[in-house]
Amino acid sequence: MAEGYDILLPSEPFMHGVAHIPRRSVPDHITRPPYVSDEEGYGPRPGDTGIIKLRGEEELSLRAAANLAKRTLEHAGTLIRTALTTDELDAALHEFIISHNAYPSPLQYHGYPKSVCTSINNVVAHGIPDDRPLLPNDIVNVDVTVYLNGFHGDTSRTFMLPEVDERGRALVAATEGALREGITACGPGRPFTAIGAAIERYVKGLGAGLSVSRQFSGHGIGRVFHRSPWILHHDNDEEPGVMIPGHCFTIEPCIVADEDSRGFMWPDGWTVSTETGARSAQAEHMVLVTETGVDVLTE
């Protein structure tokens, strides 16, 4: 159980969904992803294989979206400080994204009310920015996705406030290491299952007290926000197939500081926190398989 840090629990404003949360405005000239106006616009269109055509305009557009996501996350890192609220952070990143003529992909995605996700301490994923000030011993994951010129770019990182304890710092370091191990398992002809095997082997090698969340996966990305292949972060035989040049997907393990990684969803329909109150950290990169290896587009 948690010691010395704040456990987040559902608060009254979030007990009845998110319909009451005001949405930030986006200038009319910025292109929206299809799902903003079309309830059928979440998945791939007929004939869309998800394979990126390398060495052409499609790859250049994909890389530009990934680069903007990376720069947005870097900007987040310059803003995070004690007493900042995650809603203030969301507002600043929203302005940064639209100032680059891009759309914040989470906004209105299946009704999500904000422009980024912010997951603090025991929140595993999809935390909704609110008016809680950041505390000096918090860890906070910021998950950024942007939609630019028809392509999504997606990345996240767990930031540490100045007084995070040694165990919290070790958790964040383990998560970043797990992501690196997952990336190392990638390349043309490699099975998708190698990613989860490498991540779980690495986490288990760190000793007792850590586990990989099995409730969230990475995903194919490009013209569509979330699509196959689904990237499982634990040892598995559930994701078939091998990587081929042009596959683009995210790797985004959530590592929990407890041998029990199970999480429960809050009544807001988005936020998932650990059942035990243990802290969780996440790190995410977007990778593109090439003929000779893999490029980390958001590094």
Annotated binding site for a divalent metal cation: 143, 154, 219, 252, 284
- List, as one string, the DSSP characters of 34-78: GGGT-TTTTSPPTT------SSSHHHHHHHHHHHHHHHHHHHHHH
In 49-149, at which residue ranges do the beta strands (DSSP E only) sit?
A: 103-104, 117-120, 123-125, 139-148
- Binding-site residues: 126, 143, 154, 219, 226, 252, 284
Amino acid at 273: S
Q: What is d(CA 279, CA 168) in angstroms, rounded to the nearest whole number?
A: 8
Amino acid at 204: K
- Binding-site residues for substrate: 126, 226
CB 269 within 8 A of CB 17: yes
CB 14 within 8 A of CB 266: yes
CB 253 within 8 A of CB 233: yes
Q: What is d(CA 192, CA 182) in angstroms, rounded to the nearest whole number?
A: 10
* 134, 140, 72, 264 alpha-carbon torsion, rounded to 10°: -120
Q: If 0-12 CB within 10 Å is exposed, 13-18 middle and 19+ buried, where does residue 188 land?
A: middle
Q: Which residues pair with 251 in a beta bridge?
A: 285
